[in-house]
Structure 1
Amino acid sequence: MTRRDRRRAAARRDRGTFSMFTVLFVPSVLLFAGLLLDGGLAIHARERALDIAEQAARAGADEIDVEVLRETGEPVLEAGACGRAVAFVGQFPGQYQGGCALTGADEVTVQVTTQVDTVFLGVIGFGAFDIEVAASAHPEDGA
């Protein structure tokens, strides 16, 4: 067998190897890219929603009943505290929805939900998902 024949035989054995590598490698790279990009988007959305919830809880905790504070020295929140917190969440653009509850006479808890749309993972069937966070605040009385 000549050198030329050996090269041809080796080329025939390797035929299709690169195609198989491409078929197996490209989907895994796209999956990892999707996890990185969409995971980063999810982390960012969660942090943003938590920031909004914390700020809204602080805004609600600013609604102190001044009369009760002067009489007793104890900070008690007004009924409008939740309204102010939910209105604060509504100021932000995007898909943020807020809920609020007075969890005590001096504590406001705000829940913020948002939806994150996937980019790469949407191609393989993982669509949008919801993120829900909560934050609480109470007024500082200086004591």
Structure 2
Amino acid sequence: MRRQDDERGSITVWLALSSFVMVFLVGLAVDLGGQVHAHERAHDLAAQAARAGGEEVEGGAAIQGRELTISPAAAIAAAEQYLDAAGVSGTVEISNGDTITVTVHDSYDPQFLGLIGIQRLDVSGTATARLIRTLGGSER
């Protein structure tokens, strides 16, 4: 007695398709996690470069207690040197004489999304450092 099954082998097709979808979803999670990590790294590098540039203070006026300002040329050079050492590109801006803003531009090369044609995910991070003068814990 032979049994007729019209759906013979359908579980194999379903298993193959669901396995492909699961691998794709895991790959998507890996690559998006990598992009988030690259974004966090870009922000961290921007913060460190801003901090390095913010250390370049106009010494004469600061020592006399008149004003606290960033030395623009030295601050930009220090921040750009930090970015170069980290192997990333970015922009450095000085505003109001006491604020330095660094924006880092980097990318993440996906491992799985490359299979569908996405070869690069661009990321950026921005950080600002501002000089402040305090006296007794209060900003002056």
TM over 0.5: yes
Give the superposition deviation at 1:119. Answer: 0.7
Aligned length: 134
Instruction: Give a deviation string over 1:66-113, Cα, whole Å, max 9, x none.
Output: 1122345321010210110111111124xx212100022100000101
Q: Distance in 2 between matches of 1:20 and 1:76?
A: 69
Q: Which residue of 1 aligns with 2:92?
A: 100
- Contact in 2 for aligned 1:90/1:98 (Cα 8 Å): no
Q: How does 1:45-124 map to 2 (within 5 A)?
A: 45-79=38-72, 80-93=74-87, 96-124=88-116
- Contact in 2 for aligned 1:30/1:120 (Cα 8 Å): no
Structure with bigger gyration radius: 1
- Contact in 2 for aligned 1:61/1:81 (Cα 8 Å): yes
Question: What is the DSSP-based 3-state SS (H/G/I as helix, E as strand, rest coil) of the residue aligned with 2:91?
Answer: strand
Q: Which runs of 4+ in 1 moved over 4 A?
A: none
Give the superposition deviation at 1:40. Answer: 1.1
TM-score (norm 2): 0.86
Identity of aligned residues (%): 29
Please, which runs of 5 or more residues in structure 1 have no aligned partner?
none
Which residue identity lines up with residue 44 of structure 1 in the other structure? H
Please, which runs of 5 or more residues in structure 2 have no aligned partner?
136-140
Give the superposition deviation at 1:23. Answer: 4.3
Give the superposition deviation at 1:16. Answer: 3.1
TM-score (norm 1): 0.84
